[in-house]
Each structure stands twice: as C-alpha cells, then as structure tokens.
Structure 1
C-alpha cells in the first residue's frame, strides 16, 4: 500500500463527520492495485498513476465523494460511476455498508485505470 505521509498529515487536520469513511475509501483504493499512489492536489487527497485518477471532495459532510477526473474514459461497466460532464464522473459512499457494497466496483475502476495507463 503506497501511503503518503503528506496525505496522513492532511487527514490529521481533516475535521469532517465523514473522516473515517473517507479514510476507509482511501484504504480500499490503495489496496486495489500496487501501482496507484496518492498525493495532495487541489487541497485534497488525489490518487494517481500516470495521471490523475480521482480526488476526494473534502467539504462533503453527508457522504464520501470521489471525483474521477477522466471517469468517462475508464473502460468497463461501472454503474456507480455517475455524471454527465465532458470527462469527470463521481462516486459517492453514504456509509460503511454502502462502501462494502461498492468496494469491488471501486477496486475494478482502479485496476482498469492502471491497465489503461499502461497500454498507452
């Protein structure tokens, strides 16, 4: 798992009722594929591999929200990756139970992104 101390420090100062859920989503993403890394961009944890995969929306207080920067282009069937923007898609987690139901899809998104980036 490629945990970044800079992101650990960000979490130490993150004051939000969704903090534990956001942290759990972080861990699922990092565990999904050894190629994925994390950093702080746009004042939020961002997951990267040969480009930006996703960033948390840290101000959300009712769910954990990820914005997948190029989500439209990630190949695969991902029903919880939603939105109709030009490129971005989002995925939300309302609870630990919701994360549990979506964890396999989240992991598949991470692997699909890394595989696509390797094929370029």
Structure 2
C-alpha cells in the first residue's frame, strides 16, 4: 500500500460503508500521486488534501451516487481573483467562484476516462494556489 495514504482516512472510509468506496480509493491515489507534497487527512467526513496545512482539495461523498472533488483555497474567505484560477479546466469544472470549483464524477468509468485530466487539474490547481 502507498505509504502516503493516511490509514486514519482509510479506516474512516471503511466505517462509512459508501457504495462508491472503490472509486474513492482510486481518486485518493490519483490525487496523492499528482503532487509529492500533498498530505491527506479527514475534513467534513471526507478525504481532504493539503500542503503545509493549507487545504486545497476536498472530496464530497454525498449524495452517495457521485463523488465531487472541491478545488478551493481553504475555509477562510479570501479576496477573489479577477479571473478563474485555471485557464484550462477541460470543461470538467463547475465554477462556484473564481477560486472555487467542483468536479463531479459518477463511477469508475468516469474516473478512468478522466484520470490524466484529474491529475493535470490537481497539479494546475496546486500551482495556482500554493
């Protein structure tokens, strides 16, 4: 098992008994492998990813028929950039503000089809926000 996978997060995911548990695990690997400085913890009952305690990416696991990846700059409100933080989002992101976007995935096929794009989005997001 990847030593960057947080065992506490895995245990919490097992306790939640989610129908998309395998998809969540797949996304955890994709996100962590996108950047060697990312660390994983739990936030809002879901996997969360941060660099030096600055939260940047959080999964949303409910409703249980989809997984959302929230790209953000932390919980505290910050001055909005004039433009979206990513110029190329592959048409996958639903922008909530210029510094907050959501990627919605339905199943393992959706994840596998977009694996390279997800990796690129994570890398671009971290470059733009750290």
Which residue does the alignment assign to 1:10? Answer: 12
CA distance in 2, matches of 1:10, 1:19: 11
CA distance in 1, matches of 2:88, 2:56: 17
Deviation string for 1:38-70 (max 9, x for gaps)?
111222210112421211112221111111124
Of residues 68, 72, 85, the one that matches 2:71 is 68
8 Å contact 1:74–1:109 — kept in the other structure?
no
Larger strand proportion of the pair: 2
8 Å contact 1:49–1:117 — kept in the other structure?
no
Task: Show structure 1 runs of 5+ residues with no match.
Answer: none
CA distance in 2, matches of 1:7, 1:46: 9
Q: RMSD over aligned Cα, in angstroms?
A: 2.1
Alignment of 1:1-120 (within 5 A): 2-50=4-52, 51-70=54-73, 73-78=84-89, 79-85=91-97, 87-118=99-130
Secondary structure in 1 matching 2:104:
strand
Aligned length: 117
Compute the TM-score of the two structures, normalised by the length of structure 2: 0.77
Task: Show structure 2 runs of 5+ residues with no match.
Answer: 74-82
Secondary structure in 2 matching 1:45:
strand
Larger helix proportion of the pair: 1
Compute the TM-score of the two structures, normalised by the length of structure 1: 0.82
Structure with higher Rg: it is 2
- Aligned in 2, Cα 1:68/1:117: closer, same or farther, shift over 3 Å? closer
